[in-house]
Each structure stands twice: as structure tokens, then as C-alpha cells.
């Protein structure tokens, strides 16, 4: 559908960018921080760990100054739970609190709206040792942690995100580093963990509304439109199953306080239904979001699975569709180009999914991740010509504007990533940022910050409140 008149971006649109604590901060064991599951995970030997990352912990002032120079209206970052509570709960680490006070104050001094993710993959290892999310006590620990964040930062932070990509933690935990190998038993355990996270999230949302009546809070899953591999009815049904299992399970629970019925039937069929405590459904219903934040990288295409029709033995990375025997089978979309890392590029799918989410939930939307991972080259004279990233972002911004014209309420765009950081499982050479960080996979060099071409381009987009 094309329009004669394209609607402008709203005047207070939150243009910004995103990062997460373990991928950008470094200082993994400094100033009292405890280890997280990511620090203790077995990393692929070919790529770096997260010990130094972009060393944002020691460079945050310089980094925020650069974000301000780009014109950022908002910055989405995550708090490292283990920096605040080294043991996951109990004793508070004042130096951790101090760091985020400074970070938030620095942002506000440039009128940059802080958007705070409470938990982005990095569960404190001390909790993991007691069973992690399989243990109901982690729900209490999260509630205590949430309360601490609201108490310390609630006077200045208006936008809160609960859990980053809970759906990816469940579906691709072994590649992200949040869970070990998959086994039949582990699948059931994962959905138990999922249930505990849903309860923890609902409690945090209710608590936020009680303590901070002016704040807004929402979930931050990864949402992708799911296409059928053909117009065959069975393929369409498989796409519908996967949409419910991958997307709506998470948002229906957050928004309606209910388990999606198709996803629930899948859990029953597989024997994965979680054990619930009395009152859990009431808790889910009592915690409602004010908006939906979501991450978008690409669409996914699936077809019918009859069982032994392909190799399902690995789970793939977050954006590689593999499948599940008898449920759906991942398929390549021949209409789409791919990034250097094999992720399909689908800007129009972005518009489709913006429409789908808004039509389903009627809540304001903010995009909290979207971007292109690439092997950027630093050229002589500190130049990074990332024109491919500019193309990717331009095409996606165009589609947001079309979605706004379709009547979708979108209030912000925070692409991944504000600055170069370490990828979840593909090292520091897979770069996403507007700002280049001068380090190699294993040599941290001088960590110098360098403005890429995309930096200057995005600066203009923000100044113009949209594309020219
Ligand atoms: C999302 C995660 C981010 C980030 C991004 C890019 O799923 O929320 O933490 O890592 O994907 O993924 P990758 O680093 O694997 O390229």
C-alpha cells in the first residue's frame, strides 16, 4: 500500500540507540561486581570474552558525550544485576549503584532520556548456582532487585524495560550463553524458567506502578513476522503455530496476563507445561505494561514439518530458523538478501510486524533494537565507511514512517548498537555501532572511539526528525 501523504514522525519521537551491560561495560570483576552467567559461560575459543568489552565502565562520559553529539534523545542501556547485587540478592553493592547514578545523571545533563533494561541475559551466577530461573526463589530475587532499581533511579528514569528477549533466552539459550545444551528434559525446564520469568516480570510491572505512578514499563521481546514457506495450507498452519510459540506466547502473557492458547496446546502436546503456584495467574493479570518495546532484525520463514525432514540437531543463533520436528521447519526466504553473518534483511517485514503488534495489543510501541552486524574496516585517517549500515537503517526507518502512516503508534527507535560492543556469541569483530571502538578480537589496543559514516548520517536523521 502506498500513500500520497506520508505522516511525519511525532515531534517528541525518541531517537536513540541501545547497548547492554555485559556487551559494552567491561570491568567484569571491578568495584565489587559479582560474576554473571555470561562471565562463567564457555565461550567459543575463536572470539573474545566479555571481560573488557568496550570498557564503557571507564569511558561512559566520553561515550555519552558522543551520543549527545549525535543528537540522541534517548539511550537504552541495561543495568548489570550482579553489579548491584553481586550474590543476586542480599547485600547491595554501593559502588554498582553509584556507577548507574553517574551514568543516568550524565545522560540527563545532555537531556538524553534514559531507557533502563533491568535484565539483559546476564543473570548473577550466584543465582544460577542455586538453579537460576528454575528456582522459584529467583522470582523473589528479581522483585527485590527491581525494587532497588525503582528506589534508587525512579526519580530520574521514566522508561523501564523488564527482560530483554525472554523468548530468545528460551528458544536459543545455548547460543546466547544463558543455558547449556538442549535435552528433552531441559526443554520442559526451560518452560518452567519461562513461567518464573513471566511471574517475575508481572510482579515488577505491578510494583513499578505502585511505587512510580509517573513511570512507564514494558517487556522487550524479539518479535519477527513469520512467513509460510508456500501458500500450502500446511505451511500456513506451521507459520501460525510458530508465530504463537515464538511471539505471542510472550506478549499475550505480558499484556493480557494469559497463556496463548496455541502455545499452551503445544506445551501440553510436548509435555512442557510449567508447574504453577496458586495465584500465579492473578499475578500475571495484575502486572500490565504501558507500552511494548521490541527488537527487530529480520523476518522468519517456516514450513510444515513432518518429522524427519531436516537436521534439527542444533538450535541456531537468535535469527537462524531451524525448526522443531512435527511443529515447523525453518526455510530460506529466496526473496531476501543476507548480511555477512547470514541474517536475512527484511525492511518491509518490519512494517508488517509493527502493524501486527499494534493491531493485536493497541499499546504504544518502541523499537529497542534493529541493526546490521558487519566486519567494519578502519581506514587510514580514522575513517569507517559503513554505507551498508546506513542503507540498512535508512530502509528500516522508512518502514517505521510507513507504519506510522498506517496508524501505528510508535514513539521511539533505538537501533543496535549505540556504540560498538561485543556480539552475544560472535565476538567484537561483528560490529553494529555508530561509533567504532578500536580493538581487535583479542587485542584491546587503545579502545579509541571513532565516529563512523553512519554517525554523521544518523546525526542528520535526528536533527531532521526523520529521513530527508
Ligand atoms: C539481540 C540481543 C543483543 C544483541 C543482538 C545482536 O538478540 O538482544 O544483545 O546481541 O541480538 O545479536 P548478535 O550479537 O548475536 O549479532
| Domain at 14-228+252-294+335-463, CATH from 3.60.110.10, 3.90.180.10, 3.20.20.80, 3.40.50.620 | 3.20.20.80
Distance 45 CA to ligand 1 centre (A): 19
Q: Which atom of ligand 1 is nearest to the CA of 341?
A: 16
- How many other CB atoms are there within 10 angstroms of residue 468's CB atom? 6
Q: Which atom of ligand 1 is nearest to the CA of 121?
A: 9
* Digit-coded pLDDT (tens) for 364-394: 999 999 999 999 999 999 999 999 999 999 9
Distance 185 CA to ligand 1 centre (A): 26
**Band of residue 468 on the pLDDT scale cut at 50, 70, 90:** confident
Q: What's residue 319's pLDDT?
A: 67
Nearest by Cα to 15 from 55, 66, 70, 73: 73
Quote the strand ranges of 307-392, DSSP E: 323-324, 328-331, 365-369
Q: Report DSSP letters for 32-82, one per residue.
A: TPPPBHHHHS---TTS--SSSTT-HHHHHHHHHHHHHHHT-SEEEEE--HH
Identify the DSSP state of 295.
Answer: E
Output the ligand 1 site: residues, CB below 6 A: 20, 23, 164-165, 168, 222, 295, 317-318, 369, 373, 416, 423-426, 430
d(CA 140, CA 127): 11
Reply yes or no on whether the pLDDT at 313 is more than 70.
no
Question: Has 369 been annotated as catalytic?
Answer: yes
d(CA 77, CA 72): 13
**Band of residue 429 on the pLDDT scale cut at 50, 70, 90:** very high
Query: In this predicted complex, what is the ipTM?
Result: 0.98
Residue nearest to atom 9 of ligand 1 (CA): 424
Q: What's residue 314's pLDDT?
A: 58
Q: What's residue 335's pLDDT?
A: 97
Across the chain, what does the average pLDDT equal? 95
Q: What's residue 181's pLDDT?
A: 55
Nearest by Cα to 38 from 20, 19, 63: 20
- How many other CB atoms are there within 10 angstroms of residue 158's CB atom? 15
Nearest by Cα to 321 from 291, 339, 299: 299
Reply yes or no on whether the pLDDT at 180 is more than 80.
no
d(CA 103, CA 99): 6
**What is the CA angle 39-189-86, rounded to 5?**
30
Nearest by Cα to 20 from 376, 398, 432: 432
Q: What's residue 322's pLDDT?
A: 77
Q: Which atom of ligand 1 is nearest to the CA of 176?
A: 15
Reply yes or no on whether the pLDDT at 309 is more than 90.
no
Helix, strand or coil, per DSSP, at residue 369: strand
Nearest by Cα to 124 from 93, 92, 82: 82
pLDDT, mean of residues 432-440: 98
Hey, which residues does 427 pair with through a beta bridge? Answer: 423
**What is the CA angle 173-175-179, rounded to 5?**
35
Mutate to test the pocket of ligand 1, among 38, 169, 339, 416 (most ligand atoms within 8 A of CB): 416
Residue 217 burial class via C-beta count within 10 angstroms: exposed 0-12, middle 13-18, buried 19 and up: buried
Q: Which atom of ligand 1 is nearest to the CA of 371?
A: 6
Q: What's residue 316's pLDDT?
A: 62
pLDDT, mean of residues 407-431: 97
Cβ distance 238 to 329 under 8 Å?
A: yes
d(CA 143, CA 321): 33
Reply yes or no on whether the pLDDT at 177 is more than 90.
no
Q: Helix, strand, coil shares of the chain as percentages rounded to 5?
A: 40, 15, 45
Q: Which atom of ligand 1 is nearest to the CA of 424?
A: 14
Reply yes or no on whether the pLDDT at 182 is more than 60.
no
d(CA 93, CA 193): 26
Mutate to test the pocket of ligand 1, among 300, 318, 417 (most ligand atoms within 8 A of CB): 318
Distance 424 CA to ligand 1 centre (A): 5
Distance 388 CA to ligand 1 centre (A): 18
Reply yes or no on whether the pLDDT at 167 is more than 80.
yes
* Digit-coded pLDDT (tens) for 189-246: 999 999 999 999 999 999 999 999 999 999 999 999 999 999 999 999 999 999 999 9
Residue nearest to atom 7 of ligand 1 (CA): 318
Distance 369 CA to ligand 1 centre (A): 9
Residue nearest to atom 6 of ligand 1 (CA): 423
* Digit-coded pLDDT (tens) for 322-362: 789 999 999 999 999 999 999 999 999 999 999 999 999 99
Identify the DSSP state of 158.
Answer: -
Distance 341 CA to ligand 1 centre (A): 12
Hey, which residues does 14 pair with through a beta bridge? Answer: 412
**Band of residue 62 on the pLDDT scale cut at 50, 70, 90:** very high
Reply yes or no on whether the pLDDT at 183 is more than 60.
no
Residue nearest to atom 16 of ligand 1 (CA): 423
Q: Report DSSP letters for 162-219, one per residue.
A: EEETHHHHHHHHHHHTSS----HHHHHHHHHHHHHHHHHHHHHHHHHHHH-TT-EEEE
Q: Which atom of ligand 1 is nearest to the CA of 23?
A: 9
d(CA 391, CA 453): 11
If residue 450 lies in a helix (H) or strand (E), which one and from where to where?
strand 449-451
Q: Determine what percent of the chain is predicted with pLDDT higher than 90.
A: 90
Catalytic residue (one of 143, 369, 380, 468): 369
Distance 120 CA to ligand 1 centre (A): 10
Q: What's residue 352's pLDDT?
A: 98
Quote the strand ranges of 234-377, DSSP E: 292-295, 300-303, 323-324, 328-331, 365-369
Amino acid at each position: 500500500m502506498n500513500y500520497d501523504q506520508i505522516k511525519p514522525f511525532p515531534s517528541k519521537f525518541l531517537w536513540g540507540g541501545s547497548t547492554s551491560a555485559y556487551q559494552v561495560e567491561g570491568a567484569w570483576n571491578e568495584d565489587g561486581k559479582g560474576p554473571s552467567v555470561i562471565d562463567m559461560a564457555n565461550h567459543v575459543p575463536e572470539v573474545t570474552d566479555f571481560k573488557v568489552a568496550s570498557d564503557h565502565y571507564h569511558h561512559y562520559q566520553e561515550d555519552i558525550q558522543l551520543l549527545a553529539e549525535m543528537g540522541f534523545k534517548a539511550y537504552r542501556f541495561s543495568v548489570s544485576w550482579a553489579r548491584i547485587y553481586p550474590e543476586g540478592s542480599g547485600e547491595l553493592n554501593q559502588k554498582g549503584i553509584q556507577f548507574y547514578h553517574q551514568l543516568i545523571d550524565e545522560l540527563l545533563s545532555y537531556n538524553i532520556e534514559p531507557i533502563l533494561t533491568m535484565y539483559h541475559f546476564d543473570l548473577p551466577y550466584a543465582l544460577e548456582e542455586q538453579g537460576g530461573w528454575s528456582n522459584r526463589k529467583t522470582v523473589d530475587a528479581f522483585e527485590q532487585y527491581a525494587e532497588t532499581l525503582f528506589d534508587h533511579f525512579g526519580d530520574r528514569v521514566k522508561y523501564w524495560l523488564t527482560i530483554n528477549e525472554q523468548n530468545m533466552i528460551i528458544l536459543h539459550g545455548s547460543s546466547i550463553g544463558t543455558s547449556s545444551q538442549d535435552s528433552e528434559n531441559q526443554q520442559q525446564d526451560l518452560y518452567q524458567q519461562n513461567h518464573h520469568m513471566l511471574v517475575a516480570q508481572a510482579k515488577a510491572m505491578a510494583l513499578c506502578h505502585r511505587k512510580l505512578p509517573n513511570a512507564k514499563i514494558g517487556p522487550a521481546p524479539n518479535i519477527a513476522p513469520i512467513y509460510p514457506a508456500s501458500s500450502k495450507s500446511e505451511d500456513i498452519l506451521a507459520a501460525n503455530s510458530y508465530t504463537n510459540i515464538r511471539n505471542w506466547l510472550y506478549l499475550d502473557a505480558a499484556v493480557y496476563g494469559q497463556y496463548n492458547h496455541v502455545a499452551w496446546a503445544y506445551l501440553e502436546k510436548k509435555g512442557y507445561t510449567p508447574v504453577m503456584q496458586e495465584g500465579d495467574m492473578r499475578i500475571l493479570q495484575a502486572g500490565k505494561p504501558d507500552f511494548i518495546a521490541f527488537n527487530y532484525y529480520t523476518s522468519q520463514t517456516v514450513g510444515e514439518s513432518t518429522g524427519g525432514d531436516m537436521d534439527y540437531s542444533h538450535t541456531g543463533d537468535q535469527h537462524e530458523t531451524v525448526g522443531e520436528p512435527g511443529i515447523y521447519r525453518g526455510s530460506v526466504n529466496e526473496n531476501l538478501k543476507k548480511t555477512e553473518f547470514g541474517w536475512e534483511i527484511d525492511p518491509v517485514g518490519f512494517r508488517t510486524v509493527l502493524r501486527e503488534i499494534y493491531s493485536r495489543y493497541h499499546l504504544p510501541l518502541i523499537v529497542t533494537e534493529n541493526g546490521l552486524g558487519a566486519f567494519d574496516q578502519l581506514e587510514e585517517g580514522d575513517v569507517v565507511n559503513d554505507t551498508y549500515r546506513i542503507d540498512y537503517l535508512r530502509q528500516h526507518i522508512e518502514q517505521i514512517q510507513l507504519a506510522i502512516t498506517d496508524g501505528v503508534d510508535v514513539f521511539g527507535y533505538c537501533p543496535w548498537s549505540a556504540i560498538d560492543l561485543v556480539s552475544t556469541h560472535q565476538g567484537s569483530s561483528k560490529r553494529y555501532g555508530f561509533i567504532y571502538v578500536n580493538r581487535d578480537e583479542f587485542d584491546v589496543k587503545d579502545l579509541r572511539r571513532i565516529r563512523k559514516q553512519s554517525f554523521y548520517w544518523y546525526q542528520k536523521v535526528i536533527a531532521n526528525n526523520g529521513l530527508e
